[in-house]
Structure 1
Amino acid sequence: MKRIWIPLVLAAFIGLSEGCKEKTQSQSLTKEVTFTKEGELVLIKNENDSIVANLEIEIADDDYQTRTGLMYRKSMDNDKGMLFIFDEEVKRGFYMKNTEFALDIIYINSDKKIVNIAKNAVPFNTTTIPSEGPAKYVLEVNAGLSDKWGIKKGDLVDWTRQ
């Protein structure tokens, strides 16, 4: 019995190793998506109308872009963000599936006021992160930037397309 058991364990180990090799090879075939500037965005403190941040933005405004978002990217510069534009203002939920770096997710209503900020969203987490109220737009920036800029609910966002 020992003679049969050892080769079976060894065969299982070799098979597992081969499976890992295949998985690694298939993962390396996924090409990283690069940032494409499609506009500029400013974040404005509501109480004094001061601009606290200027960003280059990539815009997600169709079904494929809004489903993909910042997935399959290794990082993003701090002066960049992704703005999601939707047709309707409703309660929204985002998740971090296939997103490799932490984000602050900023929900924005049709008046371009911040509804809420989901800070430090965890990479690869598939748990839905909901807005606290209806949102027509969503801005994703690197985690920690919303605190650095001191933005909060009620502050304003404005942008232009390129």
Structure 2
Amino acid sequence: MRKILRNFTLVGGIVLLFTACKEEAKNKPVTTAEITFKKNGELHFLNSEKDTLKHLEIETAISSYEQQTGLMYRKQMKENRGMLFIYKEESPRPNFYMKNTYIALDLVYINKNNKVVDIQRDAKPFNETPIPSQAASQYVLEINGGLAKHWNLSEGDSVIFHLD
């Protein structure tokens, strides 16, 4: 009987220990390392007269992981920077959203001929509602919210970019 009681006490103590550790882990906030900008190239917006509207440093999102993560977890982005998503082919882009994204963004959809075909303005942080393009695109550029209007970007503008 004593052996059973001792084993019961031992098992109870282990269960209590695991439960306490689980509760402690549950209440501990998750932190991520700060993600910094990695310049992969430069991009220029040109209007129909071929005047440069804006010059940006760009970070690229080419791999599946980079495209799924995008600008998530970033607390800020300088005005002269953006993230360019590069796809192998032109297609509708219905899957952009703002999950885990702290900053408001404008999404500029660009076709295979480097023409702006759609601009979705002021995407709200943390909103998981899809932000689809209204036309097929091969590239999507994310910039700080409000800048597309501030820079007078519009459909039909051209983009020139080169990668480092």
TM-score w.r.t. the length of structure 2 is 0.82
- What is aligned with 2:64? 63
* Number of residue pairs matched by the alignment: 142
C-alpha offsets along residues 86-141 of structure 1, whole Å, 9 cap, x if unaligned? 01111002100010010000000000000110000000000001101100000000
C-alpha offsets along residues 71-94 of structure 1, whole Å, 9 cap, x if unaligned? 011010000000000011110021
Q: Which runs of 5+ in 1 are unaligned?
A: 1-18
- Alignment partner of 1:150 out of 149, 152, 160: 152
Q: Distance in 1 between matches of 2:25 and 2:153?
A: 45
- Alignment partner of 2:30 out of 17, 21, 27: 27
Root-mean-square deviation (CA, aligned residues, Å) is 1.6
- Cα 1:23–1:35 change in 2 (3 A) is farther
- What is aligned with 1:5? none
Cα deviation, residue 31, structure 1? 1.2
Amino acid at match of 2:44: V
C-alpha offsets along residues 13-55 of structure 1, whole Å, 9 cap, x if unaligned? xxxxxx7x85673322x11211000100001112x11001000
Q: Within 5 Å, which residues of 2 pair with 1:116-135? A: 116-135=118-137
Q: Distance in 1 between matches of 2:126 and 2:100?
A: 5
Q: Distance in 2 between matches of 1:22 and 1:53?
A: 47
- Cα 1:38–1:122 change in 2 (3 A) is same
Amino acid at match of 1:73: R
Amino acid at match of 1:129: I
TM-score w.r.t. the length of structure 1 is 0.83
Amino acid at match of 1:139: L
- What is aligned with 1:40? 42
Identity %: 46
